[in-house]
Structure 1
Amino acid sequence: MRVLLVGDHPPPFGGVAIHVQQLHRFLRSREVEAKVLDIGKGGRPVPDVLPMRGPAHFALRLTGFLASGWTVHVHTSGNNPKAWLLAAAVGSPPGARAPRFITLHSGLLPDYLAAAPSRRAFARVALAGYSRIIAVSAAVRDALVSCGIPEEKLLVHPAFCASQVQAGAVPVRVEAARARRRPLLVMAHHPSPVYGRKLAFRALRLLTESHRGVGLALFGPGTDSEDFLRDARELGVAGPLEPLGELDHPAALGLIARSDVFLRPTTHDGDSISVREALALGVPCVASDVCERPEGTRLFRAGDATSLAATVREAVAAGPLRVASPDVGPVLLDMYEALSPRPAPVRPVPVTW
């Protein structure tokens, strides 16, 4: 069996890209021939990861894989027009000799589809060619059902491969942050307000009153931006912050593994891979209650800095934990094998003398 994954591949190190990378690594560990069509920005060359050079190049490559009988699995957010055009582009071409699958990752998908009947109609058409549609949460699944997607085609599985979570070495600046902060909180940062930066800063200000040595390390894009620095000054938390910029994924996991609590103060969410990674590494995780969270996560009231600070205090007092983490890799591999066409049996050729 040959599997083609279509989606973003790091860098940058977003949740969908990390899952594609880890699923690719899992399939190769099971001796499955697997490649990635990287529709993101691309980066350093990686074996079996094929960067795209525009729509025409993508269409040509995709057509070749479909005609050659590769099982295709798309990974996309589902919360913007580009994601649905990708879903339609892969799901609609005729002539595929193997099944097609798609995983929809974003917690913003339900609101996106609910905003207009035309979006729901397009989603129904775009997904018609897929054998199975994997939603990362029940909310995403329910939104797809509301579009008229047949329930028998829908599955709910977190986009997480526990077997691939391995903390790596960290830069000196991470070790320095760990050494000077007790407790050390960690948060994945993005400039989007969905990630809850201001809320985290307000909670941090409250935490400095009870934990004088507290620090908040943030990794990801935008930690050196004017907006970031302005928010830190205005909310009075410039002192306890540790802005680390973008880290490669092993180093980010190394940072999380060295922390006391991982924060996820998002205003919307799907099935956050970083929450599951923190739990798999034995690190307490405090997350907003905007969606269903994995077992072991400590929840706070979304948008409430006082609730966030109180829940962090509880997590620090409780200390490390270990929870069982799911691994969708074997589940997907079984699904690929079950739905892939079987080769026709070879009939013996009669021999005449």
Structure 2
Amino acid sequence: MTKPARIAILGSYPPPYGGTSTHVMRLSAMLDERGLDHVIYNAVSSGTNGRNVVSVARRRMAWMLRYAVAAPERVIYVCSARLEVWLLAATMAMRGKQVIIRLRNVALPDYLANPRTRALASWAMRRATYVVAVSPELAAAARAAGVPEERIIHQPGFLPPACHAPGEDGLSPSQRDFLSGRHPVLAANGKVDVYAGVDLYGFDHLVELVGRLRPSYPAIGLVVAFWDHLPKDEPRLAALHARAAELGVSDSILWHTESWPFVPVLAHAHLFLRPTVTDGDANSVREALFIGVPAIASDAVARPTGTICVKTRDLEALIAAATATLHTPPPRTPRCEIVDLAKIDVYLNLFERLAS
């Protein structure tokens, strides 16, 4: 009989290449380097790696109910933002499992804003062995919910990239074709989504930005890399296409809905754009800074040092920042300090300690 792994990660695995799935993929490689056996339960897609990634996306809640009772692993790392998963994980902690809950986006503040979900989320977090927060704001929210300081670890979601994408440069065929002869190249990522009635990732403003910049930069190209795209999102994407056509910039924008690693696009970019309405720690901002690409982002949340921040949903501020940056580009200097190696070591030591 095969001995069960010591660590289980409940979350997602590429494809799609979202922030959490990429984090899990890179974390897995780091755990391998330390000889920490683990299994990844992918509850988002059918993606596996033929080794230690198991897709449980089909009827995932039925699977989770069974797993909560019979999980063989000692350490359970919950990378899901779903409250029902937190609650089931909390019951596992009460039965002796070492449970870590990862706080990564706006879900926690939303939970805490509602009295009923606040009580449930607080109960779950207080019973976890540890809580990992990707930002100081989320760490503060966990403290406010009653989690003791010593059981909160602040670890940004960004882990250093290792690009193993297909192709000599890692680009997809459509990205490679589109980027041929383009200058400057702008990069953005996300999905077609709405938050509080507004375009979550600011794609509408990106279309307007390209429309303003194109007279000065006829060969401009914007690659919007989607980490997820569903049939229900098509009407919103069609509206973006229509606006781009009105502005005469349809051929300047690649809406790359195919799931693909984002780092290769960033490596070709002159500017990264993140005009979100709300956000988590935004791994892609740190990714851009790490490889030396200027990053312009909204001030919706605190951003890493070096980010060019603009007022949230202020199109003119976004255009002004992009224009100034492209006119006088800063040196393309990788910012290795964006990675706090000491924090990553604490993060990995946590798994090692709990699994022993």
* TM-score > 0.5 by shorter chain: yes
1:208 aligned onto 2:214? yes
Structure 1 residue runs of 4 or more that deviate by more than 6 Å after TM superposition: none
8 A Cα contact 1:185 1:261, kept in partner: yes
Distance 1:69 1:42, change over 3 A: closer
- Aligned residue type for 2:20: V
Q: 1:158 to 1:237 in 2, by over 3 A?
A: same
The one-letter code matched in structure 2 to 1:318 is P
1:295 aligns with 2:305: yes
Deviation (angstroms), 1:76: 2.2
Aligned to 1:161: 159
Equivalent position of 2:202 in the other structure: 196
AA matched with 2:347: L
Cα deviation digits, residues 277-329 of structure 1 (max 9, x gap): 12222222111111111222111221112211221233332242211232554
SS at match of 1:12: coil
> Which amino acid in the other structure matches residue 182 of structure 1?
H
For residue 149 of structure 2, the aligned residue among 140, 148, 151 is 151
CA distance in 2, matches of 1:25, 1:282: 23
Superposition map of 1:97-108 within 5 A: 97-108=96-107
1:330 aligns with 2:349: no
Shift of 1:64: 3.6
CA distance in 1, matches of 2:282, 2:121: 23
Residue 279 of structure 1 is matched in structure 2 by 289
Cα distance in 2, alignment partners of residues 109 and 211 from structure 1:
42
- State the shift of 1:261 in Å: 0.8
The TM-score normalised by the length of structure 2 is 0.84
Structure 1's 299 and 154: CA in aligned 2 closer, same or farther, altered over 3 A?
same
- Which one of 130, 133, 136 corresponds to residue 135 of structure 1? 133
C-alpha distance in 1 between matches for 2:86 and 2:335: 34
Q: CA deviation at 1:71?
A: 1.3
- The reply to whether residue 76 of structure 1 matches residue 77 of structure 2 is no
Structure 2 counterparts to residues 3-42 of structure 1, below 5 A: 3-42=7-46
Give 1:25's aligned amino acid. Answer: A
Whether the 8 Å CA contact 1:36–1:48 is kept in 2: the answer is: yes
Which residue does 1:248 correspond to in 2?
A: 260
Cα drift, residue 29 of structure 1:
2.3
Letter of the structure 2 residue corresponding to residue 90 of structure 1: A
CA contact (8 A) 1:108 1:269 kept: no
Length-normalised TM-score, structure 1: 0.85
Q: Which moved more, 1:266-275 or 1:12-21?
A: 12-21
Whole-angstrom CA distance in 1 between matches of 2:80 and 2:207: 30
Amino acid in the other structure paired with 2:19: G
Aligned-partner Cα distance in 1 for 2:173–2:352: 45
Asked if residue 219 in structure 1 is aligned to residue 225 in structure 2, the reply is yes
Structure 2: segments with no counterpart, 5+ residues:
194-198
Change in CA separation of 1:205 and 1:339 when aligned onto 2, cut-off 3 Å = same
Q: Which segment drifts farther, 237-246 or 262-271?
A: 237-246
Q: Which moved more, 1:121-130 or 1:90-99?
A: 90-99
Other structure's SS at 2:126 match: coil
Stretches of structure 1 that go unaligned for 5 or more consecutive residues are: 78-82, 343-353
Q: Which residue of the partner structure matches residue 90 of structure 1?
A: 89
Partner of 2:325: 315
Counterpart residue type for residue 171 of structure 2: V
> Which whole-Å CA distance do the structure 1 matches of 2:64 and 2:205 have between them?
40
Partners in 1 of 2:107 and 2:217 — Cα distance? 35
SS at match of 1:217: strand
Q: Is the 8 A contact 1:4 1:37 kept in 2?
A: yes
| Structure 2 counterpart of 1:73, one-letter code | Y
Structure 1: which amino acid aligns with 2:324? E
In structure 2, what is the Cα distance between the partners aligned to 1:63 and 1:234?
Answer: 56
Q: Determine the structure 2 residue equivalent to 1:122.
A: 120
